[in-house]
């Protein structure tokens, strides 16, 4: 049985794995820190394009980007 993880916690896990603050990732991705915070806490749902953009910004592999899309 496959267990799915919510997008927000998965995004946060990858951000912390990459040793990035919300502010640093937001700056690199050219989004506001508030929006990134809302994504991580589930207050906002990302578009497919935003998920891929954040994945590319964090230099995730295609497999890991697909994992973010599935979350």
Query: Read out DSSP for 49-70?
Result: HHHHHHHHHTT--HHHHHHHHH
Q: How confident is the model at residue 12 (pLDDT cuts 50, 70, 90)?
A: very high
What is residue 5's predicted lDDT score, i.e. its pLDDT? 73
Residue 61 has φ and ψ, to the nearest 5°, of -70, 165
Per-residue model confidence as pLDDT tens digits over 34-71: 999 999 999 999 999 999 999 999 999 999 999 999 98
Element (H, E) at 17: helix 7-17
- Domains observed in the chain: 7-70 (1.10.260.40)
- The span from the CA of 54 to the CA of 4, in Å, is 19
For position 15, what pLDDT does the model report?
98
Could you tell me which of 17, 16, 15, 21 has the C-alpha nearest to residue 54? 15
């Amino acid at each position: 049985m496959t267990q799915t993880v919510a997008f927000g916690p998965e995004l946060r896990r990858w951000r912390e794995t990459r040793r990035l603050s919300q502010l640093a990732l937001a700056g690199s991705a050219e989004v506001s820190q508030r929006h990134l915070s809302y994504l991580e806490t589930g207050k906002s749902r990302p578009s497919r394009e935003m998920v891929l953009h954040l994945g590319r910004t964090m230099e995730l592999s295609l497999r890991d980007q697909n994992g973010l899309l599935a979350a």
